[in-house]
Amino acid sequence: MRQRRNGWKWAFLFLLSLNLLILILGWVAVQSLIPETSDTSTSQLEESDNGGEVEEQGQSVAQIETNFSQLNQLINAQDTGGFEVVFDQQGVTLSNTYTVLGQEAGLDMRFIPEATEQGDIRLTKESFSFGPINLPGPQVLEIVQSQGDVPEWLHIDPANEMLQIEMAEMDISEDYYMLAESIDLEHETAQLTLYQR
């Protein structure tokens, strides 16, 4: 009988040791997955295209591949200033309606998107349509810019007939922001990186 109680004792101690070992290995595995944070590792400096301005970038949290439908939802959930933004296989369309000389005029602008090194999306003019009015591209963009309802994250460059979606300026979260890595028109996908502020 004494042997039998001793057997249970050793089995209990073995199972207890095995559980402790599994807990310790699990804790070590979780700790190795969590990135270390320090003042020097949480930010990196990047030089932008526009003459050496330096911007600080937070720590990368996740790489995200999204389709254009999801990207459209993300952008149109922002304060768009009345614009509807639609990414599709042909490019990007920005649409809005303005009152010109007492008449409603629909504005449709088509662009070719491109991800910049800074993670923004540069939109290069393909075509403009501004109701019955036939105006050159720079004048159309100057009218849009002067209306004052352009969102903060949309930079307009009338002289070069370009727009830039400044991804980091979008109100995604107080703690996170996204940057664009690539835009693939053919497959209607975008590669984004989520950063912690």
Co-location of 15 and 98 in the same domain? no
Examine the pLDDT at 98 and tell me if it is beyond 80. Answer: no
% pLDDT > 90, the chain = 29
Co-location of 4 and 96 in the same domain? no
- Domain of residue 135 covers 58-196
- Residue 156 within a domain: yes
Co-location of 17 and 95 in the same domain? no
- Residue 62 within a domain: yes
* 139 or 35, greater pLDDT: 139
Classify burial at 134, counting beta carbons within 10 Å of its beta carbon; exposed 0-12, middle 13-18, buried 19 or more.
exposed
Classify burial at 175, counting beta carbons within 10 Å of its beta carbon; exposed 0-12, middle 13-18, buried 19 or more.
exposed
- Residue 129 within a domain: yes
What's the rounded Cα separation, in Å, for the pair 26 and 169? 38
Examine the pLDDT at 37 and tell me if it is beyond 50. Answer: no
Provide the domain count of the chain. 2
Co-location of 23 and 88 in the same domain? no
**Per-residue pLDDT band at 8 (split at 50, 70, 90):** confident
Ramachandran sector of residue 31 (left: φ over 0; alpha: ψ -120 to 50; beta: rest): alpha
Q: What is the mean pLDDT of residues 170-194?
A: 90
> How confident is the model at residue 34, as a pLDDT?
55
pLDDT digits (tens, 9 = 90+) for 41-77: 333 333 334 443 434 567 888 898 999 999 999 888 8
Co-location of 132 and 66 in the same domain? yes
Q: What is the mean pLDDT of residues 164-190?
A: 91
Residues 24-48 as b/e (b if ≥16 CB within 10 A, e otherwise) read eeeeeeeeeeeeeeeeeeeeeeeee
Least confident of 28-32, 108-112, 161-165, 181-185: 28-32
